[in-house]
Amino acid sequence: MTDHLSQTFAALADPTRRALLADLLKGEAYVSDLAKPFLKEMSLPAVTKHLKVLEKAGLIKKTKAAQWRSCQINAAPLKDATDWIEQYREFWEESFDRLDEYLKTIQAKKKTKGSKNGRSKT
Protein backbone atom coordinates (compact mmCIF):
# COMPACT_ATOMS: atom_id res chain seq x y z
CA MET A 1 0.00 0.00 0.00
CA THR A 2 2.99 2.29 -0.40
CA ASP A 3 1.75 4.29 -3.38
CA HIS A 4 0.64 7.87 -2.87
CA LEU A 5 -2.98 7.56 -3.90
CA SER A 6 -3.52 4.55 -1.67
CA GLN A 7 -2.02 6.45 1.23
CA THR A 8 -4.25 9.43 0.56
CA PHE A 9 -7.43 7.40 0.28
CA ALA A 10 -6.52 5.31 3.34
CA ALA A 11 -5.98 8.50 5.34
CA LEU A 12 -9.43 9.72 4.31
CA ALA A 13 -11.07 6.40 5.16
CA ASP A 14 -11.56 7.32 8.79
CA PRO A 15 -14.19 9.68 10.16
CA THR A 16 -11.92 11.01 12.91
CA ARG A 17 -9.25 11.96 10.40
CA ARG A 18 -11.77 13.57 8.08
CA ALA A 19 -13.13 15.53 11.03
CA LEU A 20 -9.62 16.67 11.93
CA LEU A 21 -9.09 17.90 8.39
CA ALA A 22 -12.48 19.59 8.49
CA ASP A 23 -11.46 21.42 11.67
CA LEU A 24 -8.35 22.61 9.89
CA LEU A 25 -10.52 24.23 7.23
CA LYS A 26 -11.00 27.03 9.77
CA GLY A 27 -7.23 27.49 9.90
CA GLU A 28 -4.09 26.38 11.63
CA ALA A 29 -4.52 24.77 15.06
CA TYR A 30 -2.53 23.17 17.85
CA VAL A 31 -2.72 19.45 18.48
CA SER A 32 -4.41 20.01 21.83
CA ASP A 33 -7.11 22.20 20.29
CA LEU A 34 -7.68 19.74 17.48
CA ALA A 35 -7.88 16.91 19.98
CA LYS A 36 -10.39 18.59 22.29
CA PRO A 37 -13.59 17.53 20.48
CA PHE A 38 -12.43 13.90 20.42
CA LEU A 39 -11.25 13.44 23.97
CA LYS A 40 -14.61 12.05 25.06
CA GLU A 41 -14.31 9.28 22.50
CA MET A 42 -10.58 8.60 22.56
CA SER A 43 -7.28 9.44 24.22
CA LEU A 44 -4.77 12.08 23.21
CA PRO A 45 -2.26 9.50 21.92
CA ALA A 46 -5.01 8.18 19.65
CA VAL A 47 -5.40 11.64 18.14
CA THR A 48 -1.63 11.98 17.84
CA LYS A 49 -1.63 8.76 15.83
CA HIS A 50 -4.39 9.98 13.52
CA LEU A 51 -2.44 13.18 12.95
CA LYS A 52 0.64 11.11 12.19
CA VAL A 53 -1.30 9.20 9.55
CA LEU A 54 -2.43 12.48 8.00
CA GLU A 55 1.11 13.81 8.13
CA LYS A 56 2.62 10.71 6.50
CA ALA A 57 -0.01 10.99 3.77
CA GLY A 58 1.16 14.57 3.29
CA LEU A 59 -2.26 15.98 4.13
CA ILE A 60 -1.06 18.15 6.99
CA LYS A 61 2.15 19.93 7.90
CA LYS A 62 3.26 20.51 11.47
CA THR A 63 5.36 23.39 12.71
CA LYS A 64 6.92 23.56 16.13
CA ALA A 65 6.58 26.52 18.50
CA ALA A 66 7.77 25.95 22.07
CA GLN A 67 5.95 22.84 23.29
CA TRP A 68 3.10 23.35 20.84
CA ARG A 69 2.74 21.74 17.43
CA SER A 70 0.69 23.77 15.01
CA CYS A 71 -1.01 21.83 12.22
CA GLN A 72 -2.18 23.07 8.87
CA ILE A 73 -3.78 21.52 5.83
CA ASN A 74 -1.64 20.54 2.88
CA ALA A 75 -4.24 19.78 0.27
CA ALA A 76 -1.97 18.93 -2.65
CA PRO A 77 -2.50 15.16 -2.37
CA LEU A 78 -6.25 15.74 -2.55
CA LYS A 79 -5.81 17.08 -6.05
CA ASP A 80 -4.48 13.73 -7.22
CA ALA A 81 -7.27 11.92 -5.41
CA THR A 82 -9.94 14.04 -7.00
CA ASP A 83 -8.29 13.78 -10.41
CA TRP A 84 -8.44 10.00 -10.13
CA ILE A 85 -12.10 10.02 -9.16
CA GLU A 86 -12.90 12.50 -11.92
CA GLN A 87 -12.46 9.72 -14.50
CA TYR A 88 -15.75 8.31 -13.27
CA ARG A 89 -17.82 11.48 -13.36
CA GLU A 90 -19.57 10.59 -16.57
CA PHE A 91 -20.73 7.38 -14.93
CA TRP A 92 -22.45 8.98 -11.99
CA GLU A 93 -23.87 11.79 -14.12
CA GLU A 94 -25.13 9.22 -16.60
CA SER A 95 -26.91 7.39 -13.83
CA PHE A 96 -28.51 10.63 -12.67
CA ASP A 97 -29.65 11.16 -16.24
CA ARG A 98 -31.21 7.70 -16.21
CA LEU A 99 -32.89 8.60 -12.92
CA ASP A 100 -34.19 11.82 -14.47
CA GLU A 101 -35.53 9.87 -17.39
CA TYR A 102 -37.16 7.35 -15.09
CA LEU A 103 -38.74 10.11 -13.03
CA LYS A 104 -40.03 11.73 -16.19
CA THR A 105 -41.63 8.42 -17.16
CA ILE A 106 -43.25 8.20 -13.76
CA GLN A 107 -44.52 11.74 -14.12
CA ALA A 108 -45.86 11.02 -17.56
CA LYS A 109 -47.74 8.05 -16.17
CA LYS A 110 -49.06 10.08 -13.27
CA LYS A 111 -50.24 12.59 -15.85
CA THR A 112 -52.17 15.36 -14.13
CA LYS A 113 -51.57 14.17 -10.57
CA GLY A 114 -49.07 16.98 -9.84
CA SER A 115 -45.26 16.98 -9.52
CA LYS A 116 -43.44 15.93 -6.40
CA ASN A 117 -40.14 14.36 -7.47
CA GLY A 118 -37.04 15.75 -9.10
CA ARG A 119 -33.32 15.43 -8.86
CA SER A 120 -32.17 17.01 -5.63
CA LYS A 121 -28.81 18.70 -4.94
CA THR A 122 -28.23 19.75 -8.52
Partner DNA sequence: TAGTTAATTAACCATTTAGTTAATTATAAT
Partner DNA sequence: ATTATAATTAACTAAATGGTTAATTAACTA
Q: Does 20 bind a second copy (CB under 8 A)?
A: no
Q: Does 31 bind DNA (CB under 7 A)?
A: yes
Q: Does 66 bind DNA (CB under 7 A)?
A: yes
Q: Does 108 bind DNA (CB under 7 A)?
A: no
Q: Does 76 bind DNA (CB under 7 A)?
A: no
Q: Where are the beta strands (DSSP E) in 9-109?
A: 29-30, 60-65, 68-73
Which member of 20, 21, 34, 35 binds a second copy (CB under 8 A)? 21
Other C-beta atoms closer than 10 Å to the C-beta of 77 total: 19
Stretch that binds a second copy, among 36-44, 47-55, 77-85, 105-113 (CB under 8 A): 77-85
DSSP state of 37: G
Q: Does 58 bind DNA (CB under 7 A)?
A: no
What strand order describes the sheet that includes 60-65?
29-30, 68-73, 60-65
Parallel, antiparallel or unpaired: strands 68-73 and 29-30:
antiparallel
Q: Which does 27 bind (CB under 5 to 8 A by kind): a second copy, DNA, none?
A: none
